């Protein structure tokens, strides 16, 4: 199992460090991009969240739902460095950005 630093991941091929607290692949940061990637790459999740985007009153409503449901689904890791790191990473997710993207996707679709 590979573990990656929350702040930096090292790419030996490019000999560069990427600060995951800055923009990542066009999104707010790595945690935000990662949540979007998981939503988009799992058919059930994709369909569920696109349906939720159609039902949402606005992006703020959908963002709250995204955050609440992802927090409810988080595993109980007990008191540990891993639970602290997971909590920190989840706290960096820009739920509003994800909600806006989902709403835009259903408008275009």
User: What does 45-93 look like in DSSP terms, one character per residue?
Assistant: HHHHHHHHHHH-SSHHHHHHHHHHHHHHHS----SSHHHHHHHHHHHH-
Does any domain span residue 60? yes
Does any domain span residue 18? no
State what percent of residues in the chain have pLDDT above 70.
Answer: 80
Sign of CA dihedral 37, 39, 100, 103: positive
Give pLDDT tens digits for 19-52. Answer: 445 688 999 999 999 999 999 999 999 999 999 9
Per-residue confidence (pLDDT) for residue 12, from 0 to 100: 47
Does any domain span residue 14? no
Structure tokens at 62: 């959908």
Tell me the sheet residues that pair with 10. Answer: 17
How many domains, in total, are found in the chain?
1
Residue ranges making up the domain that contains 36: 26-108
From the CB of residue 96, how many other CB atoms can be counted at a distance below 10 Å?
A: 17
CA 49 to chain CA mean position, Å: 13
Compute the distance between CA of residue 5 and CA of residue 58 in angstroms, rounded to an integer: 34
Does any domain span residue 6? no
Q: What average pLDDT does the segment 2-19 reach?
A: 43
Q: Report whether pLDDT(17) > 90.
A: no
Does any domain span residue 21? no
Average pLDDT over the chain, rounded to whole? 85
Per-residue confidence (pLDDT) for residue 8, from 0 to 100: 44
Q: Report whether pLDDT(4) > 70.
A: no
CA 37 to chain CA mean position, Å: 7
Does any domain span residue 19? no
Element (H, E) at 97: helix 95-108
Rounded to two decimals, the pTM is: 0.79
């Amino acid at each position: 199992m590979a573990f990656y630093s929350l702040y930096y991941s090292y790419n030996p091929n490019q000999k560069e460090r990427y600060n995951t607290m800055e923009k990542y692949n066009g999104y707010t940061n790595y945690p935000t991009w990662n949540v979007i990637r998981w939503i988009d790459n799992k058919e059930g999740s994709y369909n569920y969240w696109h349906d939720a985007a159609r039902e949402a009153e606005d992006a703020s409503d959908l963002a709250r739902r995204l955050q609440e449901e992802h927090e409810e689904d988080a595993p109980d890791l007990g008191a540990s460095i891993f639970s602290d790191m997971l909590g920190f990473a989840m706290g960096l997710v820009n739920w509003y950005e994800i909600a806006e993207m989902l709403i835009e996707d259903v408008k275009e679709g």
